[in-house]
A and B are shown apart, each in its own frame.
Chain A
Amino acid sequence: MENAFNKNSVGLVKPNSIDLKNKLDLDCGKTLDGFKLVYETYGKLNKSKDNAVLICHALSGDHHAAGYHNKNDKKPGWWDSCIGPGKPFDTNKFYIVSLNNIGGCKGSSGPNTINTKTGKEYGPEFPIVTVKDWVNSQKFLADYLDIDKWACVIGGSLGGMQALQWAISYPSKIKNSIIIAAAAKLSAQNIAFNEVARQAIITDPDFHDGHYNNFGVVPKRGLSIARMLGHITYLSDDSMRQKFGRDLREGKLHFGYDVDFQVESYLRYQAQAFVERFDANTYLLMTKALDYFDPASEFNGNLESAFEKTNAKFLVVSFTSDWRFSSSKSHEIVKSLIKARKNVSYAEIEANQGHDAFLMPIPDYLGVLKNFMKNIEVGD
């Protein structure tokens, strides 16, 4: 592989795309007769096929987790700090698979792809999918890639929920599960944030009940407000103070409603960039998947019972300043795993970056991941 970047990068990578013919029965009662998945792989599948690792993305993530698509790319994939030769998810040892989930907007079947039955774009008609549906779709991808059992399934935030669900849904198909900055279910406060984000999108006059593409518009205002709100909740008070303080953009107050403070400018910039790369219907769907996640609900609300049949070894990680997915949420998972007498380790990383910390190269955090991954034994 060409590698002009640096020795720890997976270098240039290309996404793959597969039209799976499997029928996917969804939690909502609908069925997808086949679906497309876009994915990337890093490293090589070994002969014993026991070194495969699945990376699950969060709300706004996609399949491009590491390396570069183009020499001129300014930024690598979203989890490049963790994936590569010698990194915690070591591509010299593991075969790493990262996909865009269905319902996403980066090539896998979702609101902005064509429904083969109607020949039209799905738009808002794309069914609402759940974490469990995603895990089922990922199982079909594993079958297609001839992976019988994952050495590890890993994710942060919404991705961590998938890593958790894998252990419950397919106990014999996963050896290790790493659940980072996640929760076994969202709190009311967390659902409330998602609802505000949805309302911002849905009430945008350009939303047109989700059919905005038919009108040649995008609910930009709604989507950017949703992103701004989300962004604030992913940072901590501390990290915002450090990053922006009360710094003024132009050194003086304007006594108007345009940008005065740096933080406003930053939020507007982030929102603008997000609107250009993300789809509003996908945003709505992803927030619903978050809200609906509650694996214990199938076990009379008892998380310990949900874990009873799992065989995976677990690593749970949280961050001290994360208030959107606070450490107490991780404790719930850890407590239930211990009560079910499962193998579990837990680290609460000192970090002031809030929820976003799970994407940052924090030495203690990378160390925990690395030390855990080193003990995963793989064949030749």
Chain B
Amino acid sequence: MDRKDFQIISKWIKTNSSVLDLGCGDSTLLDFLIKNKKISGYGFEKNIDEVQESLKKNINVIQLDFNKGLVEYFSENFFDYAIMTQALQENKNPDKILLEMLRIAKEGIVTFPNMGFWKNRFQLGLLGRMPISKSLPNNWFDTPNIHLCTFNDFEELCRNLDISILDKKVLNNKYASNFLLKIFPNLFGEIALYRFKKD
């Protein structure tokens, strides 16, 4: 496992806890957490090809578009953690999803690309074009990312929703950290990881 973000998430998560991964993809993260942290839980994923990959890994995967609601699936605090990696910006209502994550789980963990990364600012601010980069590879017209934000935007939303941030890690597109990222995260960070809970 060379994905730094998955290692960080794994460090944040307690052994033997229960986890829901929203938009679990091919379940690489869940597989990693099962092997390293003995977690139990489920992955929700709407794409059948990703479901197949998850089944190959022997993961409990549920083919479902979680935008259609989780209320009837889970009671309050059913899970220890609800995780969403690189999918928050694809949701119709990121604010509602965050609150829903914290209804069904004691803590939430999200990762997302930073619209405030200096290269993105450069492309939009100076070139006047919608940014395209390694962490944002799509054109404006075919991107699934309908709700991009900067780290600062996200943190303001959390304040407004009475969500307290417990942990934060900022990485570049190789999922690594460095000196500049630590001093100016919203300018040099491409991807952020947040762990949070309801106040």
Residues of B near A335 (CB, < 8 A) are: 72-73
**How far, in whole Å, are A375 and B51 apart by their CA atoms in the complex?**
14
> Is A341 close to B, CB under 8 A?
yes
- CB of A374 within 8 A of CB of B52, answer no
- CB of A368 within 8 A of CB of B55, answer yes
Residues of A near B48 (CB, < 8 A) are: 347, 349-350, 364
Chain A nearest CB from B27 CB (Å) reads 10
> Is B77 close to A, CB under 8 A?
no
**How far, in whole Å, are A374 and B52 apart by their CA atoms in the complex?**
12
Given known A367-B52, A368-B55, A371-B56, contact A346–B64 (CB-CB < 8 A): yes
Chain A nearest CB from B176 CB (Å) reads 33
Chain B nearest CB from A314 CB (Å) reads 9
Docked complex: A167-204 residues within 8 A CB-CB of B? none
- CB of A338 within 8 A of CB of B63, answer no
**How far, in whole Å, are A367 and B47 apart by their CA atoms in the complex?**
14
Using CB atoms, name the residue of chain A closest to B53. A371
Which single member of B42, B54, B56 contacts A338 (CB below 8 Å)? Answer: B42
> Is A233 close to B, CB under 8 A?
no
**How far, in whole Å, are A185 and B51 apart by their CA atoms in the complex?**
27
- CB of B58 within 8 A of CB of A368, answer no
Which range holds the interface residue count of chain A? Answer: 20 to 34
**How far, in whole Å, are A368 and B40 apart by their CA atoms in the complex?**
21
> Is A10 close to B, CB under 8 A?
no
- CB of B55 within 8 A of CB of A372, answer yes
**How far, in whole Å, are A375 and B55 apart by their CA atoms in the complex?**
8
**How far, in whole Å, are A270 and B107 apart by their CA atoms in the complex?**
57
- CB of A341 within 8 A of CB of B56, answer no
> Is B61 close to A, CB under 8 A?
yes
Residues of A near B59 (CB, < 8 A) are: 345
- CB of B40 within 8 A of CB of A341, answer yes
**How far, in whole Å, are A367 and B49 apart by their CA atoms in the complex?**
9
Given known A347-B51, A348-B63, contact A375–B58 (CB-CB < 8 A): yes
Residues of A near B40 (CB, < 8 A) are: 341
- CB of B74 within 8 A of CB of A346, answer no
Using CB atoms, name the residue of chain A closest to B62. A346
Given known A364-B48, A371-B55, A371-B56, contact A346–B63 (CB-CB < 8 A): yes
> Is B60 close to A, CB under 8 A?
yes
> Is A334 close to B, CB under 8 A?
yes
**How far, in whole Å, are A375 and B52 apart by their CA atoms in the complex?**
12
Residues of B near A339 (CB, < 8 A) are: 73-75
Chain B nearest CB from A235 CB (Å) reads 23
Which single member of A338, A341, A374 contacts B73 (CB below 8 Å)? Answer: A338
Contact with A along B12-48 (1 / 0, CB 8 A): 0000001000000000000000000000101000001
Chain A nearest CB from B23 CB (Å) reads 15
Residues of B near A344 (CB, < 8 A) are: 42, 60, 62
- CB of B52 within 8 A of CB of A368, answer yes
Which single member of A345, A349, A350, A374 contacts B60 (CB below 8 Å)? Answer: A345
Q: Most A CB atoms within 10 A — which of B54, B60, B72? A: B60
**How far, in whole Å, are A349 and B72 apart by their CA atoms in the complex?**
22
**How far, in whole Å, are A343 and B60 apart by their CA atoms in the complex?**
6
Using CB atoms, name the residue of chain B closest to A371. B55
Using CB atoms, name the residue of chain A closest to B57. A375
Which 4 A-B pairs give the minimum distances between C-beta atoms? A371-B55, A375-B58, A346-B62, A347-B63
What are 29 A-B residue pairs whose CB atoms fall within 8 Å in the complex? A334-B62, A335-B73, A338-B42, A338-B73, A338-B74, A341-B18, A341-B40, A343-B60, A344-B42, A344-B62, A345-B51, A345-B54, A345-B61, A346-B61, A346-B62, A346-B64, A347-B55, A347-B63, A348-B63, A348-B64, A349-B48, A364-B52, A368-B51, A368-B52, A368-B55, A372-B55, A375-B55, A375-B56, A375-B58
Which B residues contact A (CB, under 8 angstroms)? 18, 40, 42, 48, 51-52, 54-56, 58-64, 72-75
With A338-B74, A364-B48 given, name 17 new contacts (CB 8 A): A334-B62, A338-B42, A338-B62, A339-B74, A341-B18, A341-B40, A345-B59, A345-B61, A346-B61, A346-B62, A346-B63, A347-B55, A350-B48, A364-B52, A367-B52, A375-B56, A375-B58
